[in-house]
Amino acid sequence: MSPLNQLLSPITIKSMSLTNWVVMPPMGTNLGRDDGTVSPENLAYLKRRAQGQPGLIITEITAAHPEGIASPNQLGAYDDRFIPGLSRLVAVAHEAGSKIAMQIHHAGRESTFLLEQGKAVAPSPVPSIVFRRTPREMTLEDIKEVILAFGSAAVRAREAGFDAVELHGAHGYLLTQFLSAISNRRTDEYGGATLKERSRFVIEVITEVRRQVGPGFPISVRISGEEYIRGGYTIEDMQTILPDIVRAGADIIHASIGTHGSPGAITQATPEYEPGFNVGLAKKIKEVVSVPVIAVGRFSDPALADEVIGRGDAELVAFGRQFLADPDFLIKAKAGRTAEIRKCIACNQGCIEREILGEGNIRCSINPETGQETIYPKGPAAKPKKVLVVGSGPGGLTAAFEAARLGHRVTLFEQEEELGGQLRYARIPPYKKIYGEWIDWQIDQVRKAGVTIQSGTPVNERLLRDQNPDHVILASGGEKIIPPIAGIEKPSVCDAWQILSGTVAPKDHILVVGGGLIGMETADFLSEQGKEVTLVEMLERSPVRKITSHGYMLHQRLQEKKCRLLFGTVLKSIGDGSVEIETKGETSTLSPVDQVVMAVGLKPRDELKGILESLKIPFSVIGDARQPRRIFEAVEEGAQAVWKL
């Protein structure tokens, strides 16, 4: 059994008694109905997380006012019509033994939906850093209306049965906008030169919520301890107003960091940030207040959380994305089965990026159940089939595991001796080790599920005839693109996979050809070794977008390492010690170049499709074998191919 004595202790905060100190914090899901009411998908998603036995669940953002919504399907609490659905959320949490708080939210200027309609409001008419559009400045009447709306929403939460409320004062939303000198340029009583002066709106919101819900109902306030942006407030500034926040009625301080406009995507920390990186802010907060503090910051290991609590740095610890990757991680930790925990890899592909890029509702790149709880088959299959999986990358491994879980007879074929597909190489660049840890974990799960594994075994027509499967899942990945460039046969030319695997040693002056993820990460890997790197990409802009968390950090590192990035540039020919490139019709020579690394990407490896069609064997094509993309698509397609059998 696990010795998580601190983490698993009970704690009481006013009228709310928690069985442990684990918090599932708010995470946007896009699962709500278009009218802002709770959907069956919301309930199934929350139920699955509650089954993991967190002490406290805090809901995703719930709108206090119709002019403060981030999207049409954001859950609402600004009208009594929302109470029945919210009550069902409460029932799901309570049935599993968890307590639940409703997070009350107002987007202010951070809503592209309202900005496009000209309805977004904010303390001052300062454009959103994220969306580049200008909101309307709030009048004093607007301010009073929103303050009352927060109080009314809190009352509805109490009537719906919630155990507490949380006021969202973090990440650049309305309450933060009033605190920030960047977004609050007001000269009336709600503005000012100091954070203490600008805190009036936040204090009045808390005071009003306390007045409406009464003295015994717990109130949490989520803050960004530091704004983490040039010209923003610091934790020392925040320390000056925290006692006022507590006096106004806060019973818990939820200690987050940054805004959505902060550099480095710190609000959705990537693997560049160490687990628990934000605990120092929680500790600083505890220096000036005596109420419980929730620590956040890439937590995935219950043992680390137990240490944080044991040191007195915080009372509660939030595990956000870890609840997406493995809702049962706490149960496994309690039972001493920590090796079975599927740890979040902080890739943000299925959760944060999917929402930012407008790709749909919440998912998890490594857990296909997340966001699909209503269609996730519990099994076993009504009619078990003989299933062949070709390829052992993320998609193939997921398909093999899901098929075995549902009772199918599964054989996995991999033409290489080592399993893992492209992640054998993707785990090597800086900060990508965690990807390798996950693929090793997934391989172990496939073995434990009873899948027959045939590595070093290419699949051909004869094998397919001999096996005679009921269904084949083609997860054979992609093959390297070799462009027709003069001189490409020279011994100074290799590819990114050879460099990352160590098959070819890097030289000193290197040209990387291709600015996609493979090329950018290879350039990062080489720059880390002190090599002089130039990267050329034919597109005018990098395919690796800075709007994504990993993309931002990758671009930043390459800039810091003085890696030369040439976009809109084509490699024309490779010479001895130099190359010829063309940029916007102009030809030039780069020298010295003693090594050319090709990283122009992959194309689907799908030669088995024709054979399968001729043999009339049913099959599905997934992942890079369909089209080279991310881990997220490979895993989701692998799972869904099995679920449809």
Kindly calculate the radius of gyration of the chain based on its CA atoms and give it in whole angstroms: 26
| Range list of β-strands (E), 132-191 | 136-137, 164-169
Which pLDDT value is given to residue 356? 76
Q: In which residue ranges of the chain is pLDDT below 50?
A: 1
Which pLDDT value is given to residue 431? 95
As beta bridge partners, residue 471 has 387
Which pLDDT value is given to residue 2? 57
Which pLDDT value is given to residue 1? 47
Q: How many CB atoms lie within 10 A of CB 83?
A: 15
According to the 3-state scheme, what is the secondary structure of 306-334? HHHHHCCCCCEEECCCHHHHCCCHHHHHH
CA dihedral 111, 152, 181, 284 (to 10 degrees): -110
Catalytic annotation, pick one of 45, 78, 173, 431? 173
In angstroms, the CA 83 to CA 212 distance is 17
Q: Where are the alpha helices (DSSP H) in 29-139?
A: 40-50, 83-95, 112-117
Residue length of the chain: 645
Which helix H or strand E contains 521, and what residues bound it?
A: helix 517-528
In angstroms, the CA 260 to CA 173 distance is 9
Instruction: Check whether the bond before 218 is cis (ω within 30° of 0).
Output: no
Instruction: Yes or no: say if 396 and 390 are a contact pair by the CB < 8 Å rule.
Output: yes
- Name the pTM for this structure: 0.95
As beta bridge partners, residue 588 has 581
Residue with tokens 């109130």: 219
What are the C-alpha distances in Å from 3 to residues 290, 315, 448, 581? 27, 17, 26, 61
Known catalytic membership, residue 173: yes
As beta bridge partners, residue 479 has 603
User: For residue 402, what are its two tokens?
Assistant: 């899901």
Phi/psi at 254 (5° precision): -100, 110
Instruction: Yes or no: say if 579 and 568 are a contact pair by the CB < 8 Å rule.
Output: no
Instruction: Yes or no: say if 390 and 605 are a contact pair by the CB < 8 Å rule.
Output: no
Largest Cα span, the chain: 81
CA dihedral 255, 261, 267, 272 (to 10 degrees): -130
Which helix H or strand E contains 253, and what residues bound it?
A: strand 252-256
Where do the domains of the chain lie, and which CATH numbers do they carry? Answer: 11-356 (3.20.20.70), 386-480+604-643 (3.40.50.720), 493-600 (3.50.50.60)
